[in-house]
Structure 1
Amino acid sequence: MASPVMKKMLKQSKNRGRRNSISIRGVPHDAVRVFLRLLYSSRYEEEEMNQYAMHLLVLFHAFGIPSLKNLCIQKLEKGLLTLENAVDVFQLARLCDAPRLCLLCNRMIVDNFPAVSNTEGWKVMKQSNPFLETELLESVVEADSRKKERMKKMEERKIYLQLHEAMEALVHICRDGCRTIGPHDKQLKQSVAPCSFPACRGLESLIRHFAACKKRVSGGCTHCRRMWQLFELHSRLCGENSNGCKVPLCGHFKEKAAHEQSKKKDAVRWKLLVSKVLEARTLCS
């Protein structure tokens, strides 16, 4: 017999002098019929399997038939699992030792919590198993926190990538020249195609402002302070010697960095920023 549990039950029934039969309660009659057909012939109708997959999962688990239990699990995983039955299947998966199915249900519930929380299955579970409700709510909160953390990291990475692009554009402008701005010994061609450096246009405007602004000497201009910071960031990333680099103030900031041991906090902050920009460059390359 395929089921050792059923074999034992029949043997016990016979030893007690009763008819050689057992009772299967708690599931629909037709589900038991499909169960017996699968048990003895390994055949089933697709429509019946779709209708009774959850009942069959319980039966095959209870009667110790792992191969047919796995068949039910596969059917649920590959199409029968829905938002409407996710909570019910989740509870069955926990009871029937189906960890993968349990994980899939958990993900579906967490990812679609507003919809799942309005289903009848959730409402029944909320009344009958408040501890499970608490567990699922905690999973939802944790998932939301992880999502926010991922979004925060993505935004940070975006900023560092923009800084990396600004550094590339700054070197491009100061070394090669762009359409309307560049070193004095370069002949600019305003008629050429748009610049391939994404940050070039915005940086061009910032450099023009920096060159003409009268407040920058006293440090009273926000745009100029931003330009100073970009110059300093470049110097921290620049691998050329002070005389070889075409970017203004590169040597000045390199010399400043060499003598800033007394300001360890600033040094650590700049070092961290440089590492993040380099990391963003590596990820986008």
Structure 2
Amino acid sequence: MECVELLDSPDLFFLDGGDAHATDFSLENHLESSSSAGAKNKAAPGHSHIHSHSHSRRAQLHRSNAPVPPPLPGTSYYGARRKAKAACRRVPEGVLDSWDRLFLEGYQSDLRVSTDGGAEISSHSCVLGVKSPVLRAMLEEARLRDGFRCIRVSGAPSEAVRVFIRFLYSSRFEQEQMKEHALHLLVLSHVFSVPSLKTVCVDQLERGFLATDNVVDMLQLARLCDAPRLALACARMVIGDFKTISLTDGWKVMRRTNPSMEQELLESLVEADTRRQERAKRMEEKKVYLQLYEAMEALVHICRDGCRTIGPRDQALKGSLAAACKFRACKGIELLVRHFSACGVRVPGGCANCRRMWQLLELHSRMCFLPDTCKVPLCRHFKEKMRNLGRKEETKWNLLVCKVLERGGTMGFMPGRRKNFINPKASWVLPRGSSCI
């Protein structure tokens, strides 16, 4: 409460440097007194001198208005701790060789691990107990025989158990042994709670074991062994090649024994197909909006500058010399303009090409902010027509204009006020009957 009262006091707000210095000292003295109650009675004789020196240093900094300089790069305490921690993570090869040799030679081993194949693996109970909490619990209940503790690991080949125990010592394995016993090692890593080995097994299975004929079995095993990464990779593979995988024996067995998993995979397949269709629809809409943007550029280019053999009457055309035009939609707009000028129908509800031209002209008028000086035909006419449209139709056109501007980016022929139209949270809809070149 004393700190709150001090912060609320009017003495904390100041106008000149002297008041700031005095206020800062009162706040520091109060915080020091509240955080170190009774410490002054136990301080050394030179303690008051140190405090006076620190206060004079702070006063000097306040008078010069100089900020406290930041620490130099790489000299901070936390940076040094991070570097030391990163350096400790790199285990020298000699240490790993020593642990590997300790397992292979069995020097002063006190534990014998028996397997289903009848083999006995000599090891050290302290190493296995530290690496696995499950093995520690088994060792606490193990019986002594001929001076050795004895435990049994069932459900896996002897060679897989040997690779598993060697990994507990040195985190090493032979690549051929890992490929051969990856499934058994995954089960052992889950049963005996060795997450580092599980990560290695999942990586090996993802890269070189998954196939269309075993992916369903791998999916079930991954869920039993709590390996979500492997389960996700299997599910993606099933969805990506469902027609082939649904004909395998593994799928038929899974359908009989685990119908809930089949239902889940089918729902995931439908969801993925829906997302694929939505993505294709969005890509098609983006393509349409980009075509409309290019059509607007080409229309303004033809009506303002002229291109090839078409352009404004007061412009001298260059004919075939201007064949290399940078606007991709220029040729299509040129053909459409020629048809529109020579068509005998030329009404919005008549010829399809003329109807398309009417829509492009109306779209341009909604994107143009200079109708008095614009050279595009009927620009002012459509500006006047906008005032009589209903609210629903006006909203559709505004959404279309925003989407075209957003898709095209910066349009050179439009002024800066066009940004007021953009609303990225709106759902963009093409007006009925609109199309592109």
Taking structure 1 as the reference length, the TM-score comes to: 0.89
- Alignment of 1:85 with 2:196, yes or no, is no
Which residue matches 1:202? 332
The correspondence for 2:366, drawn from 215, 236, 244, is: 236
Query: Aligned partners of 2:410 and 2:180: how far apart in 1?
Result: 48
The correspondence for 1:72, drawn from 179, 201, 212, is: 201
How far 1:170 sits from its partner (Å)? 0.3
Query: Aligned partners of 1:54 and 1:124: how far apart in 2?
Result: 19
Query: Aligned partners of 2:398 and 2:344: how far apart in 1?
Result: 31
AA of the residue aligned to 1:27 = A
The correspondence for 2:239, drawn from 97, 107, 110, is: 110
AA of the residue aligned to 2:291 = Q
Query: Aligned partners of 1:122 and 1:21: how far apart in 2?
Result: 41
AA of the residue aligned to 1:73 = V
Aligned residues of 1:177 and 1:188 also touching (Cα < 8 A): yes
Query: Aligned partners of 1:107 and 1:190: how far apart in 2?
Result: 57
Q: After the TM superposition, which of the residue ranges 202-211 and 2-11 deviates more from structure 2?
A: 2-11
Query: Aligned partners of 1:12 and 1:94: how far apart in 2?
Result: 30
How many residue pairs were aligned?
Answer: 279
- Alignment of 1:151 with 2:249, yes or no, is no
Query: Aligned partners of 2:209 and 2:392: how far apart in 1?
Result: 58
Which residue matches 1:212? 342
**Structure 1 or 2: larger strand share?**
2
Distance 1:284 1:149, change over 3 A: farther
Q: Which secondary structure does the structure 1 equivalent of 2:376 belong to?
A: coil
Q: Which secondary structure does the structure 1 equivalent of 2:319 belong to?
A: coil
The correspondence for 1:260, drawn from 378, 388, 394, is: 388
Uncovered stretches (5+) of structure 2, i.e. residues with no partner: 1-127, 413-437
Which residue matches 1:56? 185
Uncovered stretches (5+) of structure 1, i.e. residues with no partner: none
Structure with higher Rg: it is 2
- The Cα offsets for residues 227-282 of structure 1, whole Å up to 9 and x where unpaired, read as 1110000011113x21211100111111211x135x11210111121122112213
Query: Aligned partners of 1:42 and 1:245: how far apart in 2?
Result: 75
Provide the identity percentage: 58
Which residue matches 1:269? 396
Q: Which secondary structure does the structure 2 equivalent of 1:21 belong to?
A: strand
Aligned residues of 2:348 and 2:358 also touching (Cα < 8 A): no
Query: Aligned partners of 1:283 and 1:156: how far apart in 2?
Result: 19
AA of the residue aligned to 1:255 = E
Q: After the TM superposition, which of the residue ranges 266-275 and 104-113 deviates more from structure 2?
A: 104-113
The correspondence for 1:190, drawn from 313, 319, 323, is: 319
Query: Aligned partners of 2:256 and 2:367: how far apart in 1?
Result: 61
Aligned residues of 1:260 and 1:267 also touching (Cα < 8 A): no
Which residue matches 1:131? 260
Aligned residues of 1:179 and 1:190 also touching (Cα < 8 A): yes
Query: Aligned partners of 1:218 and 1:278: how far apart in 2?
Result: 25
**Structure 1 or 2: larger helix share?**
1
Q: How does 1:93-108 map to 2 (within 5 A)?
A: 93-108=222-237
Q: Which secondary structure does the structure 1 equivalent of 2:328 belong to?
A: coil
Query: Aligned partners of 1:284 and 1:44: how far apart in 2?
Result: 61
The correspondence for 2:408, drawn from 267, 281, 285, is: 281
Distance 1:162 1:244, change over 3 A: same
Query: Aligned partners of 1:249 and 1:283: how far apart in 2?
Result: 24
Question: RMSD of aligned C-alpha atoms?
Answer: 2.3
Distance 1:284 1:104, change over 3 A: farther
Q: How does 1:17-56 map to 2 (within 5 A)?
A: 20-56=149-185
How far 1:159 sits from its partner (Å)? 1.0
- Alignment of 1:119 with 2:248, yes or no, is yes
- The Cα offsets for residues 76-135 of structure 1, whole Å up to 9 and x where unpaired, read as 233333333322222222222222222222222212222322333323322221111110
**Larger RCO of the pair (alpha carbons < 8 Å, separation 6+):** 1
How far 1:217 sits from its partner (Å)? 4.3
- Alignment of 1:251 with 2:380, yes or no, is yes
- The Cα offsets for residues 111-163 of structure 1, whole Å up to 9 and x where unpaired, read as 22223223333233222211111101111111011001111111111111111
The correspondence for 1:221, drawn from 332, 338, 351, is: 351
What stretches of structure 1 move > 6 A for 4+ residues in a row? none
Query: Aligned partners of 2:181 and 2:396: how far apart in 1?
Result: 62
AA of the residue aligned to 1:93 = A
